[in-house]
Amino acid sequence: MRLSRFPDIVDDVTVRLIAAVVLVLSAATLATGQWWLLALLAVDFTLRATLGPRRSPVARLVQAWVRPRVPAAPRPTAGPPKRFAAAIGAVLTLTATLAYGLHVATGAEGPLVAVMGITVVMVVFPALESLLGLCVGCVLFGQLMRLGLVPEDVCLDCADITRRARVRALSS
């Protein structure tokens, strides 16, 4: 049994709504100084990146309560770059959580500055995704593919943007 099941194709509308929730939580964290919220985001991002969106509380909330109320038609998009973006979110929020723990344990201000900087990034990246449809992680994923650091077979739709249209035409 395979635990990790991140879909090959995801709904871009749902992804942008998930990013909006992350944006709100990150902005609230920055505004209130409640840095423990980053630990919640770290858990969610880690679950989403490793086990897929069905294990992510934020993704489940959006899929069950928010997406059904948004009348936009589904917009299929490649899943692997979104998984990569979730992994970046996991690394950033886990790093911020550990830095905050270091600040609490030692009283040092440096780690707290790092936490604030990471939280700013966690506001900017989801804002770009949710408001403009620009996925920074996806752009980086594409660059890594072009450099040959991510094999093309990881995301055939990313390697050949005409593939999905051809597959759809053949199945019609």
Q: Could you give the CA distance from residue 131 to residue 86 in angstroms, rounded to a whole number?
A: 17
CA-based nearest residue to 126, from 24, 42, 32: 24
Identify the pLDDT of residue 162: 53
Domain, as residue range, for 91? 9-134
In the chain, the number of structural domains is: 1
Task: Check pLDDT > 50 for residue 1.
Answer: no
Identify the pLDDT of residue 152: 86
| Residue at 64 is within a domain | yes
| Residue at 125 is within a domain | yes
The sign of the CA dihedral 17, 131, 93, 82 is positive
* pLDDT, average across residues 90-98: 97
Indicate yes or no: pTM above 0.95: no
| Residue at 69 is within a domain | yes
Q: Could you give the CA distance from residue 129 to residue 151 in angstroms, rounded to a whole number?
A: 24
| Residue at 2 is within a domain | no
Of the chain, the percentage scoring pLDDT greater than 70 comes to 90
Identify the pLDDT of residue 161: 57
| Residue at 16 is within a domain | yes
| Residue at 162 is within a domain | no
| Residue at 61 is within a domain | yes
Q: Are 8 and 79 in contact (CB under 8 A)?
A: yes
| Residue whose structure tokens are 């790092």 | 114
| Residue at 94 is within a domain | yes
Give the bridge partners for 76, in sequence order: 11
